[in-house]
Amino acid sequence: MRTLAITQNMTLDGSIEMLTNWFDPTVEAPDLMAESHRQDAEADALLVGRQTFEDFRGFWPHQTDDATGITDYLNAVDKYVVSSTMTDP
Protein backbone atom coordinates (compact mmCIF):
# COMPACT_ATOMS: atom_id res chain seq x y z
CA MET A 1 0.00 0.00 0.00
CA ARG A 2 1.22 3.50 -0.82
CA THR A 3 1.14 6.52 1.44
CA LEU A 4 -0.87 9.55 0.41
CA ALA A 5 0.72 12.63 2.01
CA ILE A 6 -1.28 15.83 1.88
CA THR A 7 0.13 19.33 1.71
CA GLN A 8 -2.62 21.89 1.82
CA ASN A 9 -2.54 25.66 1.38
CA MET A 10 -5.48 27.56 2.80
CA THR A 11 -6.43 31.21 2.53
CA LEU A 12 -9.31 33.27 3.85
CA ASP A 13 -10.38 34.37 0.38
CA GLY A 14 -9.69 31.07 -1.41
CA SER A 15 -7.00 32.53 -3.66
CA ILE A 16 -3.24 32.11 -3.63
CA GLU A 17 -1.71 34.65 -5.96
CA MET A 18 1.91 34.75 -7.04
CA LEU A 19 2.43 38.49 -6.67
CA THR A 20 6.05 38.17 -5.57
CA ASN A 21 8.54 35.38 -4.88
CA TRP A 22 5.84 33.71 -2.83
CA PHE A 23 7.78 30.55 -2.08
CA ASP A 24 11.47 30.86 -1.38
CA PRO A 25 12.27 28.51 1.49
CA THR A 26 15.99 29.00 0.94
CA VAL A 27 15.54 32.47 2.42
CA GLU A 28 12.47 32.20 4.63
CA ALA A 29 12.86 28.71 6.12
CA PRO A 30 15.89 26.63 5.12
CA ASP A 31 14.61 23.65 7.14
CA LEU A 32 11.46 23.70 5.00
CA MET A 33 13.63 23.27 1.89
CA ALA A 34 15.30 20.21 3.38
CA GLU A 35 11.91 18.70 4.25
CA SER A 36 10.58 19.47 0.77
CA HIS A 37 13.51 17.64 -0.84
CA ARG A 38 13.06 14.68 1.53
CA GLN A 39 9.42 14.39 0.52
CA ASP A 40 10.24 14.80 -3.18
CA ALA A 41 12.81 12.01 -3.00
CA GLU A 42 10.21 9.63 -1.56
CA ALA A 43 7.35 10.63 -3.86
CA ASP A 44 6.70 8.93 -7.17
CA ALA A 45 3.66 11.00 -8.18
CA LEU A 46 1.77 14.23 -7.54
CA LEU A 47 -2.02 14.29 -7.04
CA VAL A 48 -3.75 17.63 -7.62
CA GLY A 49 -7.10 19.06 -8.54
CA ARG A 50 -7.85 20.59 -11.92
CA GLN A 51 -7.35 24.23 -10.93
CA THR A 52 -4.01 23.56 -9.25
CA PHE A 53 -2.85 21.50 -12.21
CA GLU A 54 -3.81 24.20 -14.69
CA ASP A 55 -2.07 26.85 -12.57
CA PHE A 56 1.07 24.68 -12.29
CA ARG A 57 1.00 23.86 -16.00
CA GLY A 58 0.96 27.56 -16.89
CA PHE A 59 3.72 28.54 -14.45
CA TRP A 60 6.34 25.91 -13.56
CA PRO A 61 7.48 24.72 -17.01
CA HIS A 62 8.53 28.28 -17.82
CA GLN A 63 10.74 28.82 -14.77
CA THR A 64 14.50 29.02 -15.21
CA ASP A 65 17.36 29.29 -12.74
CA ASP A 66 15.30 27.87 -9.88
CA ALA A 67 17.78 27.30 -7.06
CA THR A 68 15.19 25.42 -4.98
CA GLY A 69 14.94 22.43 -7.34
CA ILE A 70 11.16 22.58 -7.20
CA THR A 71 10.86 23.32 -10.91
CA ASP A 72 12.89 20.23 -11.84
CA TYR A 73 10.80 18.06 -9.52
CA LEU A 74 7.44 19.35 -10.77
CA ASN A 75 8.46 19.08 -14.40
CA ALA A 76 9.61 15.47 -13.97
CA VAL A 77 7.13 13.89 -11.54
CA ASP A 78 4.12 11.91 -12.79
CA LYS A 79 0.96 13.92 -12.21
CA TYR A 80 -2.55 12.68 -11.50
CA VAL A 81 -5.40 15.17 -11.78
CA VAL A 82 -8.75 14.70 -10.08
CA SER A 83 -11.43 16.44 -12.13
CA SER A 84 -14.85 15.92 -13.63
CA THR A 85 -14.54 19.02 -15.84
CA MET A 86 -11.03 18.91 -17.31
CA THR A 87 -11.07 18.57 -21.09
CA ASP A 88 -7.34 18.98 -21.92
CA PRO A 89 -5.14 16.77 -19.76
- How many domains would you assign to the chain? 1
Work out the pLDDT band at 84, boundaries 50, 70, 90.
Answer: very high
pLDDT at 17 over 80: no
Query: What domain range includes position 56?
Result: 42-84
In a domain, 61, yes or no: yes
In a domain, 21, yes or no: no
In a domain, 2, yes or no: no
In a domain, 14, yes or no: no
pTM, 2 dp? 0.66
In a domain, 46, yes or no: yes
pLDDT at 66 over 60: yes
In a domain, 27, yes or no: no
pLDDT for res 78 = 92
On whether the CB atoms of residues 34 and 26 are closer than 8 A, the answer is no
In a domain, 5, yes or no: no
pLDDT at 43 over 80: yes
